Chain A
Amino acid sequence: MAGQAGQGNSQGGKARPANRRVAQWTRDYVRLPGIPDEYIGQDGAPREVWTRFFDAFATLTPGDIERRFGTADRHLREAGVSYRAPGETADRIWPLSHLPLLIGEAEWQQLSAGIAQRAQLLELVLSDIYGEGRLVAEGAIPAAAIAGSTEYLRSICGIKPPGGRFLNLYAADVGRGPDGRWWVLGDRTQAPSGAGYALENRLVLSRAFASLYKSMNVERVAPFFEAFRDSLRAGADRDEPRIGLLTPGQFSETYFEHATLARYLGFLLVEGDDLAVSGDRIHIRTVAGLKRLDVLLRRVDSNSLDPLELDASSQLGVPGLIDVLRKNGVVVANMPGSGVMEARALLGFLPSLSRRFFGEDLKMPHIATWWCGQKSAREEVLSRLDEVAIEGAYRRGVSGFPGNGPVLASELSPAERERLKTAINDRGIDFVGQELVRLSTTPVWDQGRITPRPFVLRVFAAATPQGWNIMPGGFCRIADQLDARAVSMGDGARAADVWVVSDKAVSPTTLLPAGDTVRIRRIAGWVPSRAADNLFWLGRYLERAEATLRLVRALATAQRDPIKGTSSVLHSVERIQRLLVTWGATSQATRTQPAKLAAEALQSEEKFGSALSLVRSAQRTATSLRERLSPDAWQVITEMVERLGHEVEDDDGVVSAAELTLQELASFAGLAQENMNRAAGWRFLEMGRRAERAINTVRFARQFAYDEAGGEDLDILLTLVDCQITYRSRYLVGPLLAPVRDLVVLDPYNPRSVAFQVSALNDHIGSLPTLKEGGLIERPHRLAVGLQAMLTTAEATALDTKTLFALEQDLLNLADAIGSHYFPHGPNASRPEKLTGLA
């Protein structure tokens, strides 16, 4: 029944190889018994959109196809498109199915209408149960079906949602049932995830198969995001509102998506710590003080939003947020408490609610569900116990039974089965029975042929003043096994792009706004304190990595030097080793094996100061800055981590790994210098770099330009700070103490000198906004000005080890002062703590 395309003789000779390919791919594709399929329709013939797709796809040669798949995979890897499985600490690369899921436009229209109707229904129900409460009072919804949900928030009762609605973003998980219709499997009303991944999947696949994508007339997803963003803006009570995307932080399994969405929509990525209540409003802590935030798109669950009124142990929220909602001071999307509509207990009541509100039936069915809190439904479930799946009425998992999924009575022992029946009889309110449905399969690419796999499609709807806007496409998860019961990421599932295919050409749209509707602005807004903090530390980690790599290179080359053995060089090698030890890059120096030490300092997993550990720290810090770094910059960091993670063979390997990594560090610095907007945090990255370089350079000078330093010591110093050429061009003699000290510490024209770093720091600090009034100079500025004056007026001949040591202490103090002045973890803005104890 498959592979009918290309069987006829009417096609031209040129098309034949393509037809043969389609036939070859689809030859073994068989619809599974009793299960619908996306490629093969109900009538046994391939659906038209898929035939069109495979015909177009077949014009690519097999080599071409594999190459493009490779491109897509590489893009995913390089962009770091990732998710974190629950309980894991490392990010995983998103596995993308190479074939999109195809849906024809006509069918999509129907599906969209069903989703829009459902979204509106849920909005109306929410505003009733948190408002007037007529539905419960009149018996349209049993009180128990709502009260059982932990998402029914009593503190939200009576609050009118600022911005006018509960749901701004709604998602439904859908699948095609045995009757060929699309069915809703579940509602997502809390903080639906997946839209950002859908966007990323689209970017990857449309890039890898650009002409195929164009020829298929695929509906664009960008207008959906545009409409969503505009309607969030419109919900605020001033023009040009500040919008934040509230994330639980980088340990959230979907953190990558939060960063992607924030960057794409132009929102600030914020964590609870970044926000504070002041007056009747929410504010964001920035390096310029508190700035008002108008709209919060949340990816934090309701109960964690406010430790004062909700879960008291939450560290993810903002104390006082609910009270701000009460005072109409911020729009939160979705409104806290919206998650109550995800309860399965409510599913059975939606058809009658639809008739009540709209006077019409639900346009799209959902999976048949019986809530055991009602006698008739309970009896129905108990009488058909083997034909239904038992699920929790309010959340995943069945109370009293292990696991997070449904319970199938047919798989239980007789004793367990009795226990289940007793539990349903005693506390029926906790259970639902759901019809067992086998959902449709879709083709996945498997080494040159296609095979059917079950999937779940998540469809997104954004509330706009013009009604519900449905994203044409969505987030499709495909199971790796044929048993489709639970398709969640982490179970070896992959994602697929979803193409809504039109008969006519579609107009290209991007998120770029039309020129005349936007006021020209040059400052991208002040940097949130936490982002500034992370940028500062990113700069410091990278600079420290550079210093460590220079030491490693010096160590690895010095020990191969032909004059090895003279006491002076050994002495210098010892000094390098001593530095590496104090920096935590290697263990206690063993004079016998400098080669081993160099390798350890380069790539030890355990040592916190090894170059590998430092670039990893940089990567970790960069992770929480994903929305602010260009993909190129992220890629450079990833490459460094990968390079240093590969064990090197020998001394040459050490030197070349160090050198290549140094080049990458230089290219990161170049990217930052050339590509980062000067207003958006670049200054803090620079300040971190400058502060760290100043400190490291003084340390080098103290070790190798001490009062009795010899020629070899000074020679190593010049190499470490990259000043050999400058020195030689300036002085015709070999390295001498005072000239070297002058060049390395005091010379304001040498971009590697301490004085140069301090002068740059001073400029940066001077350009930052001042926080306090009263006319007093702020501490970081005072310290920097003092240091600069000292370095400007000092003479090289007067420098000694003692003054260098004092200088190092002053620089450390300056770095600390910057930290505590601008960043959230300083004493000026410590995180709020709960009052403890039984009062």
Chain B
Amino acid sequence: MIYDIRHVTTYSYESPVSFARCSLRLEPKSGSGQQLVSHTVDIRPRPADRTIRQDFFGTLTESVLIETPHRSLRIDSRSRVSVSRSAPGRTAHSRPWESVRDVAFEATSLGPSSPIGYVFASPLVPVQQPVTQYAAASFPPGGGILAGAVDLMHRIRTEFKYDPKATVISTPLNEVFEKRHGVCQDFAHVMIAGLRGLGLPAAYVSGYLRTIPPPGKPRLQGADATHAWVSLWCGEGLGWIGFDPTNDILVENDHIVLAVGRDFSDVSPVDGIIVGSRKQKLAVAVDVLLVE
């Protein structure tokens, strides 16, 4: 499948901003079942400097410097991506989760795809006893890792309420967990925290969902904004597999991967600092169209 993606981020400021330094992670990844065809980012006001580098996780990160005074910053990103991946069935057989854990602990690489980078707490995902216990209910001794993760994903989908007004970016994980509500980012963080508590390597993925569902299928939650889900390392054979706890589905051809990291802080699509305005308003518009 080929998708055309338009992702427009607009910041509006109350008073003029004289300076901005931003990091953009807006270029979809190639690999693991998807291929980037084309990509452009238009920024207004026009930056004084733009440089691209690959970060630790392999994400192409663009550093942008704006020195023109402005009241609004508009970042218009367009990508064409072809996606072709298949997920294992929800009930497929897999290795016992404990053995996956033990293999992960013995990793001999610190690289971005090594499972060892994803079994410890990260800036936005603490490893806490209550969340670990919650997840443990899905992982009986000797149970398959796939079955466990599918069950955990399903429980989050049914036991947590999707509520865009309930949380903000800085809402801590334990509050999301106690109140059982949030958005895709929160659900992904909760699932990651539970998996890591058990010693399982879980990564955070930012990306997009197709806006208009295939005929006869329901529209997916989070389709008009950037989306987030979980990538779990299921052992050397299965490798990394995507789980979307917001929609209770395994990641296949409706998901487009933007970036992978330990949690949101590693992949946030637009990040930066400004000098000048105390009040800011943010609008994000995402459109994902199926070309063919």
Contact = CB atoms under 8 A, between A and B. Distances in A.
Given A147-B110, A838-B185, A429 B119 contact: yes
A384 interface: no
Contact of B282 (A147, A326, A426, A837): A837
A143 interface: yes
Interface stretch (A55-63, A129-137, A657-665, A756-764): A129-137
A835 B280 contact: yes
Contacts of A307: 273
Given A836-B280, A839-B284, A308 B108 contact: no
Interface in A415-434: 426-429
A429 B105 contact: yes
Contacts of B202: none
B273 A147 contact: no
B275 A832 contact: yes
A829 B275 CA distance: 8
Nearest to A307: B273
Interface string A79-97: 0000000000000000000
Contact of B274 (A154, A277, A829, A832): A832
B292 interface: no
A812 interface: no
Contacts, number: 122
A143 B273 contact: no
Interface stretch (B35-43, B146-154, B263-271): B263-271
Given A155-B55, A426-B199, A835 B272 contact: yes
B123 A311 contact: yes
Contacts of B53: 326
A118 to B, nearest CB: 23
Interface string A312-356: 100000011001001000000000000000000000000000000
A139 interface: yes
Nearest to B54: A158
Contacts of B105: 144, 373, 428-429
B212 interface: no
Contacts of B277: 833
A241 interface: no
A104 interface: no
B107 A835 contact: no
Interface residues of A, number: 43
A146 interface: yes
A834 B273 contact: yes
Nearest to B127: A399
B84 interface: no
A147 B21 CA distance: 29
Nearest to A835: B272
A484 interface: no
A400 interface: yes
B278 interface: yes
A835 B110 contact: no
Interface string B12-54: 0000000111110000000000000000000000000000010
Contact of A833 (B106, B114, B264, B273): B273
A512 B27 CA distance: 56
A93 B223 CA distance: 60
Contacts of B280: 835-837
A838 B169 contact: yes
Interface in A810-839: 829-839
Contacts of B56: 154-155, 157
B21 A137 contact: no
Contacts of A154: 55-57, 117
Interface in B249-292: 264-265, 268-278, 280, 282, 284
Interface in B105-137: 105-111, 114, 116-117, 119-120, 123, 127, 129
B247 interface: no
Nearest to B170: A313
Contact of B270 (A137, A148, A312, A839): A839
Interface string B162-200: 000000110000000000000101000000000001110
A136 B110 contact: yes
A466 B236 CA distance: 48
A397 interface: no
A429 B116 CA distance: 10
A105 to B, nearest CB: 43
A178 interface: no
A682 to B, nearest CB: 30
B63 interface: yes
A837 B109 contact: no
B120 A147 contact: yes
A147 B275 contact: no
A157 B269 CA distance: 21
A460 to B, nearest CB: 30
Contacts of A838: 168-169, 183, 185, 225-226, 264, 268, 282, 284
A255 B105 CA distance: 40
A143 B282 contact: no
Interface in A118-140: 129, 133, 136-137, 139
Interface string B49-72: 000010111000001000000000
Contacts of A429: 105, 119-120, 199
A184 B168 CA distance: 46
A405 interface: no
Interface in A738-755: none
Contacts of A312: 123, 265, 271
Contact of B22 (A133, A146, A311, A835): A835
Contacts of A136: 108-110
Contact of B226 (A129, A152, A839): A839
A142 interface: yes
Q: What are the 10 A-B residue pairs with the smallest beta carbon separation, nearest first?
A: A837-B282, A154-B56, A839-B270, A832-B273, A143-B116, A319-B273, A143-B107, A147-B116, A835-B272, A838-B169
29 contacts: A133-B110, A136-B109, A137-B109, A143-B107, A143-B108, A143-B109, A144-B105, A147-B110, A147-B116, A152-B110, A307-B273, A308-B21, A308-B273, A311-B123, A320-B21, A323-B63, A399-B127, A426-B198, A427-B197, A429-B199, A831-B275, A832-B19, A832-B274, A833-B278, A835-B280, A836-B169, A838-B226, A838-B268, A839-B284
Interface of A: 129, 133, 136-137, 139, 142-144, 146-148, 152, 154-155, 157, 277, 307-309, 311-312, 319-320, 323, 326, 373, 399-400, 426-429, 829-839
Given A308-B271, A839-B284, 12 more contacts: A155-B56, A308-B272, A312-B123, A320-B21, A429-B199, A832-B274, A833-B278, A834-B271, A837-B168, A837-B280, A837-B284, A838-B225
